[in-house]
Amino acid sequence: MAMGSTSCRTYREPVRRVLLPSDPISREICPMEAQELASELSKDLRINIELPEDNLELYSFADEWKGTPYRFGGTSRKGTDCSGFVWQLYKAVYNMDLGRHSSATLMANSRRVDKRHLNEGDLVFFNINNRRGGRASHVGVYLKNDLFVHATTKQGVIISSLNEPYYRRTYIGGGRVL
């Protein structure tokens, strides 16, 4: 083993790795801090976030990733595609590893949910490439009030409405992760 010298002419083994907490920000916050964060996120995201009903972690994640550029096959803040974004969101917010799958596979592996019964965190699927058989080619995560967060090719990670004509036309269903 290689040894490193110190200033006192003693020798120690050099540091090979440093372990840091996996998520130093993740902690319990008091109700007042939570309310302040909800208020700030409501302004940033233009969504009325209500506590304790709404998942503050979900909206914080959406806010942090908002504006992340699109990159096909990407899964990081440097660039992500729609399924990479969903994968990262579920790992961070729900501590669930959905695996790195296509939109079509995510749809096949989730329980179908009628649009009227979508809950916060449900997946929303679209056939934006006019795939035969109505297969999903795009996925996002439902927030509330017909709003969802997703990664688009032109604008990166954004929040959109299911009521926008484009998404209303291409929407093919909702799914709940099993």
Residue of 8, 30, 117, 138 with catalytic role: 138
Q: Is 138 a catalytic residue?
A: yes
Choosing from 8, 30, 101, 150, the catalytic residue is: 150
Catalytic annotation present for 150? yes
Element (H, E) at 151: strand 147-152
The secondary structure of 3-23 as a DSSP string is -EE-TTS-EEPPP------S-
The reply to whether 30 belongs to the active site is: no
Task: Please give the backbone phi and psi of residue 160, each rounded to the nearest 5 degrees, phi first.
Answer: -130, 170
- Torsion angle of the four alpha carbons 90, 92, 93, 94, in this order, in degrees rounded to the nearest 10: 60
Which stretches within the chain are classed as H helix?
A: 31-45, 56-65, 82-94, 103-108, 165-170
- The one catalytic residue in 8, 82, 101, 117 is 82
Q: Which of 173, 177, 155, 133 is nearest to 82 (CA)?
A: 155
Q: Which residues form the catalytic set?
A: 82, 138, 150
